Amino acid sequence: MLVQPMLPVPYVVDKVRQETHDTFTLELNQPGTKAGFSFLPGQFNMLYVFGVGEVPISISGDPLAPRPLVHTTRAVGTVTAAMRKLKRGDMLGVRGPFGTHWPIEQATGDDIILVAGGIGLAPLRPVLYHVLAHRSSYGKVVLLYGTRSPADILFQKELEVWRGRFDIEALVTVDRSSDHWRGNVGVVTNLIRRAGFDPHHSTAFVCGPEVMMHFTVLELGRRGVPDNRVFVSMERNMKCAVGFCGHCQYGPTFICKDGPVFRFDHIRWLFGKREV
């Protein structure tokens, strides 16, 4: 529990890395301390660009190497556009970590299925770091990643490394091909049929746009993965991050404190409802 959850802590930008034409990664450190930032995979922080505004961003770094604090996001609004312009040495306010995490401890012994769409790979990357660091505790590990085009592939160098490993099956697909692309074309749900996992002893973690998650859960079900072994990360307009303001209300829950990670059978009745 944070002592003062509404008070941003100043962090200094140590590194800015452009991932794709519209996504970037920030590496942050807290000045005056060597301590790292403890978090669990799937949690998020509120990042405050001084004078502009505050936005919720998932932590995309390694939970076992919590310094620097790593965030990857896409420049889509005023705050993230300002965030993209930050340079080494600039300051940023950080509140967090907030929210529920991917239940990797419950998945021990299971095959792990990670299904990511677009920027959804960022909140899942900490899971992969954890699983790879504790590789013998899990069965097969499958990463299925779909994105818009070859130019939109996030963490390209790491994906190449993961694809080269013998103890993980990493499949990538793009919705729209380009002239030089020799990989898979089609939506990420197509990969679920091809991946090697035991549906009865698997835990699936899914992150991406809600429509993509809808079809992913459907396809996982067709393969035999039950809803109570599927976890999704939801996104809404989070403001306070501690369940006070109600901006991120999702039925009887608040995404900021009851989520963002939910077991799918708990929210199935809400999922995809236009009114929610």
Partner 1 sequence: METLERYLAEHAFFQDIEPAYLKILVGCASNVKFQPGEFLFHCAEEANSFYLIRHGRISVELFAPNRGAVTIQTLGPGDLLGWSWLIPPYRWHYDAKALELTRAIALDGKCLRNKCESDHSLGYDLMKRVSYILNQRLEATSLQLLDVYGYGK
Q: Does 150 bind partner 1 (CB under 8 A)?
A: no
The candidate with the shortest Cα–Cα distance to 93, out of 75, 71, 74, is 71
Q: Does 147 bind partner 1 (CB under 8 A)?
A: yes
How many CB atoms are located within 10 Å of the residue 27 CB?
18
Asked whether the bond before 126 is cis by omega within 30 degrees of 0, the reply is no
262, 100 in Cβ contact below 8 A?
yes
Give the three-state DSSP class for 1: coil
8, 46 in Cβ contact below 8 A?
yes
Residue from 211, 237, 269, 276 touching partner 1 (CB under 8 A): that is: 211
Q: Does 187 bind partner 1 (CB under 8 A)?
A: yes
How many CB atoms are located within 10 Å of the residue 159 CB?
16
C-alpha span between 188 and 174 (Å, rounded): 8
Residue from 25, 45, 100, 189 touching partner 1 (CB under 8 A): that is: 189
Residue from 185, 242, 245, 270 touching partner 1 (CB under 8 A): that is: 185
Dihedral sign, Cα of residue 99, residue 246, residue 269, residue 272: negative
Q: Does 194 bind partner 1 (CB under 8 A)?
A: yes
* DSSP single-letter state for residue 8: P
Q: How far is the CB of 28 from partner 1 (least distance, A)?
A: 26
Cα angle 252, 258, 117 (rounded to 5 degrees) comes to: 105
Q: How far is the CB of 9 from partner 1 (least distance, A)?
A: 30
Q: How far is the CB of 208 from partner 1 (least distance, A)?
A: 7
Centroid of chain to Cα 266: 20
Query: Per CB under 8 A, which of residues 11..40 are in contact with partner 1?
Result: none
Q: How far is the CB of 203 from partner 1 (least distance, A)?
A: 22
Q: Does 159 bind partner 1 (CB under 8 A)?
A: no
Q: How far is the CB of 216 from partner 1 (least distance, A)?
A: 10
Residue from 29, 100, 173, 203 touching partner 1 (CB under 8 A): that is: 173
Task: Report the residue number, 93 or 221, with the smaller CB distance to partner 1.
Answer: 221
Q: Does 86 bind partner 1 (CB under 8 A)?
A: no
> Of 49-57, 62-70, 124-132, 190-198, which segment contacts partner 1 by CB under 8 A?
190-198
Residue corresponding to tokens 């609004």: 77
Report the length, in residues, of the chain.
276
Q: Which residues bind partner 1 (CB under 8 A)?
A: 76, 117-119, 147-148, 152, 173, 175-177, 179, 181-187, 189-190, 193-194, 208-209, 211-212, 215, 218-219
